[in-house]
Amino acid sequence: MKNSFRKWLLWAAILAGLYTAPVLFGVFELNLLLGASIFALFSLSLNLLLSFTGLLSFGHAMFFASGAYGTALVLTRLDGCSLLSAIFVGAASAVLVALVLSPLLVRVGGHTFAMLTMAFSQIMYATVMKFSHLTGGNDGMSGFPIPPLVIPAVGLIDMSLERNFYYFSISILGLSAWVMWFFTRTPFGSIMVSIRDNPDRVTYLGFNVPLSKAIILGVSAGFAGVAGSVYALFQNMVSVDGVLGPLSSFTPLINCFIGGLGTFIGPVFGTGIGTILLELMSAHPEQAQLVFSLVLISVVLFLPGGAIMLYWKITSRWIVLRNKFQTAILKGNHES
């Protein structure tokens, strides 16, 4: 009871922190926070495959990119497209890509899955470059209009204001993260974990493993698409190297590993640590990525549970110390 009360308190504090951020911070910190939140959602969607289903994707950026390009395209080509439908188109195009590829992807796992996703994201890169009349090729797309948010009975909310856009996107991202968390708590979420641990057993129990994998892939891709779509709105620009570049699939993976595998919330910590690290190193941008990669290597080598495991270790150590301290005091009292 006490534990769950503390949990709710923590959530309320995080929510309050996120919603008071525009009052407390300037535009620069706000943009940093929003950028980090976008990548946190992207990493969370990847984590759904990685931690829960045990599939390592080297091409998750293709779903992020589908979301970004979908939103950018519909806003460029379609006049009067509303904000929410633009985001919906982004998410839907990512799901579509995932569903088209799923007949091939669900059949494999392990190294083959990693290589296959990498191959598909390369195909996507080449396709985006080839259809440069639509996607802008190497230059990317920029300057598309960002429509205001229309809420019935309230009116228009102008998205060109930084604060409004921040509230809007943080709500979308938070809601998506919550839906994803809920998804892992459903019975289907348990099937996901069972597929990771023992796919044969799941088949014997009468569940359709390939179909389940396809659904997970679709959900994961959809939320990566939402992240990409918000990214496109946030930057007001999509470039092929920005969303499909050599490192764009690896960055969320690195976030997941630094944050801690096997937990839902790990990637959020990983993204936070990554953002703080890059910000601390902002005086030496050339060395920032080097330090980042060294952090990854040391996490993989020495702390396979990531930041979460470190936290647990510290707290358990602290509890042990406290108990020792208390027993020492009690003993002392007893003796005297």
Partner 1 sequence: MDAIAVMLITQGIHGLAYGMLLFLVASGFTLIFGMMGILNIAHASFFMLAAYFAFQIMQWSGSFWLALLLAPIAIAGLGILMERLMLRQIRKFKLGKAVVLFELMLTVGIMVCIEEAVKNLWGTDPEIVNAPELLRGLVQFFGMTYPVYRIFIIGLSCSILLLLGLILFKTRLGNVVRAAVQDADMAGALGVNVPLVFTLVFGLGTWLAGIAGVAAAPMLTVFPGLANQMMLDSFIVVALGGFGSLFGAFVISMLLGELTAFGIQFFPGYSTIILFGFMALVLTIRPSGLFGEKE
Instruction: Between 127 and 327, name the residue whose CB sits nearer to partner 1.
Output: 127
Give whole-number Cα distances, 77 to 49, 70, 220, 310, in Å.
33, 11, 27, 49
Shortest Å, Cβ 103 to partner 1: 8
Instruction: Between 214 and 232, name the residue whose CB sits nearer to partner 1.
Output: 214
Shortest Å, Cβ 28 to partner 1: 25
- The token duo for 155 is 């009116």
Give whole-number Cα distances, 220 to 44, 63, 127, 132, 161, in Å.
9, 9, 22, 27, 30
Instruction: Between 121 and 229, name the residue whose CB sits nearer to partner 1.
Output: 121
Shortest Å, Cβ 246 to partner 1: 5
d(CA 143, CA 148): 15
Shortest Å, Cβ 285 to partner 1: 11
Binding site for partner 1 (CB under 8 A): 50, 54, 56, 104, 107-108, 110-112, 114-116, 118-120, 122-123, 125-127, 129-130, 246-247, 250, 253-254, 257, 261, 286-287, 289-290, 292-294, 296-297, 300-301, 304
Q: Strand pairing of 155-157 and 141-142?
A: unpaired
DSSP-derived secondary structure letter, 283: T
Shortest Å, Cβ 69 to partner 1: 17
Instruction: Between 108 and 265, name the residue whose CB sits nearer to partner 1.
Output: 108
Instruction: Between 68 and 261, name the residue whose CB sits nearer to partner 1.
Output: 261
Instruction: Between 280 and 290, name the residue whose CB sits nearer to partner 1.
Output: 290
Element (H, E) at 156: strand 155-157
Which has the closest alpha carbon to 214: 316, 107, 71, 78? 107
| β-bridge mates for residue 141, sequence order | 238
HSE-up of residue 266 (Cα within 13 Å, Cβ side): 28
Which has the closest alpha carbon to 216: 52, 75, 79? 52
Shortest Å, Cβ 24 to partner 1: 34
